[in-house]
Amino acid sequence: MSKNTSAPQSLRSPLGRARGLGSSRSGVSHWWVQRLTAMGMLPLVLYCLISFILIADADLDTARAWIGQPFNSVAMILLLAVGFYHASLGLQVVIEDYISTKTRRILTLAFTKMIMTAFAVMSIYSILLIALADGV
């Protein structure tokens, strides 16, 4: 009996093939970045949530004063920046998994990235306006 020689033989071992990143060559890094952003958001969400609970009954001037403090405004900006980036990564995975047409997938990804970037910029700009306002 002779072997089937129609299929090309690979010189790579099964372990060598398993260590690869897959067909997209970026799956593992995307997964890690998504996990790192999630871990980075944990202390920010806890700090902001506790702060919001503590100033829940505050008036507008107190809330503006809270956002005006440098540590609080930086924490809010970091939370918004990392949160929108994390959400963008998650939406990218969903879009890549469920939209099969390549053109539609690329357009949806581009639109989603633009919308998420616009929301992040508007949110951060709003925080900066409040934090840098001179008693307005």
Locate the domains of the chain by residue range.
24-132
Give pLDDT tens digits for 73-90: 999 999 999 999 999 999
Give pLDDT tens digits for 24-63: 555 688 889 999 999 999 999 999 999 999 999 999 999 9
pLDDT at 7 over 70: no
CATH of 24-132, one of 1.20.1300.10, 3.30.70.3270, 1.20.120.140, 1.10.150.120: 1.20.1300.10
**How confident is the prediction for the chain on average, in pLDDT?**
87
Tell me what percent of the residues of the chain surpass a pLDDT of 70.
Answer: 79
Which of 4-13, 61-70, 86-95 is predicted with the least confidence, judged by mean pLDDT?
4-13
How far apart, in Å, are the Cα atoms of 82 and each of 27, 31, 117, 120, 135? 20, 15, 11, 9, 29
Task: Please compute the mean of the pLDDT values over residues 112-135 and round it to a whole number.
Answer: 93
Q: Are 90 and 110 in contact (CB under 8 A)?
A: no
pLDDT at 113 over 60: yes
Task: Please compute the mean of the pLDDT values over residues 13-32 and round it to a whole number.
Answer: 67
| d(C-alpha 64, C-alpha 16), whole Å | 57
Per-residue pLDDT band at 93 (split at 50, 70, 90): very high
CA 125 to mean position of chain CA atoms: 18
pLDDT at 133: 87
